[in-house]
Amino acid sequence: MKRVLDMLRRNKTPMESRDESPESQFFTTGFHDVDDATVPVVHWTERAKAIGARKLARPAPVKRLKELWSRDRFMAGLSPDDLEKCARHFEFYAVDANKDLIAQNEYGGFMLVVLHGAVAVDRQQPWGERLRLTEVRAGNVLGEMSLLDAGPRWSYCTTLNPCEVAVLEAGALDAMIEQDPGSAARLVGSLARRLSLRLRKLGASSQTP
């Protein structure tokens, strides 16, 4: 997470005063430093093909994403202009039921926002059984931890019914940082706050007798 915070601090500097080569590949190249080089980085284009995801025309899902995030307290720092700029960098897909959007232990270069439908979050146990951790619905974000810190996925995220999702890939986030640095910094900050609260809750629950 430290490298993300360092990036945010650098992006407070006006574009004109930065080096001629901005860090437009910050998130894309983060996966080059993974601990296990034998584990491939799974990009959304590969996952979409594997699960038969169908790309959606933009107007309706863009409106849905902006509506959901405008009501999300973690995204309160994003202005309507920020939401508009962020939405430009997302792609939108329909996915059938019982499809793994995210697989445990893989390195994934994307995050998802659930627009419609429900998704199960399961942790596979050493003996092979999947333990249900939670179920998420419209407005929830999946996979942001791996996108931000280039670490492995913690769990499986599987559609429980037909879903629509918004997808932000590492390359698209890098493009946002270069083209709309202020909006990108506020988006990453909002995601980091959401993630921090989730980790605090997880830590508190693990200490409960």
What span, in angstroms and rounded, lies between the C-alpha atoms of 170 and 43? 9
Instruction: Look at strands 130-136 and 110-116 and give their pairing.
Output: unpaired
**pLDDT at residue 15, rounded to an integer:** 43
Nearest one of 186, 165, 175, 113 to 144, comparing CA atoms: 113
**pLDDT at residue 94, rounded to an integer:** 99
**pLDDT at residue 21, rounded to an integer:** 43
Nearest one of 94, 68, 66, 93 to 161, comparing CA atoms: 94
Q: Is residue 110 part of a domain?
A: yes
Other beta carbons within 10 Å of 146: 24
What is the span of the domain harbouring residue 87?
Answer: 2-8+23-201
Q: Is residue 145 part of a domain?
A: yes
What's the CATH code of the domain at 53? 2.60.120.10
Q: Is residue 132 part of a domain?
A: yes
Per-residue pLDDT of the chain (209 residues), as tens digits, is: 445 555 555 555 444 444 444 455 655 655 455 555 666 789 999 999 999 999 999 999 999 999 999 999 989 889 999 999 999 999 999 999 999 999 999 998 999 999 999 999 999 999 989 999 999 999 999 999 888 887 899 999 999 999 999 999 999 999 999 999 999 999 999 998 888 776 776 655 555 55
Other beta carbons within 10 Å of 81: 11
What is the residue type of 43?
A: H
**DSSP class per residue in 116-173:** ES-EEEEEE-TTSPEEEEEEE-TT-EESHHHHHH-PPP-SEEEESS-EEEEEEEHHHH
What span, in angstroms and rounded, lies between the C-alpha atoms of 69 and 114? 11
Number of domains in the chain: 1
Q: Is residue 175 part of a domain?
A: yes
Q: Is residue 36 part of a domain?
A: yes
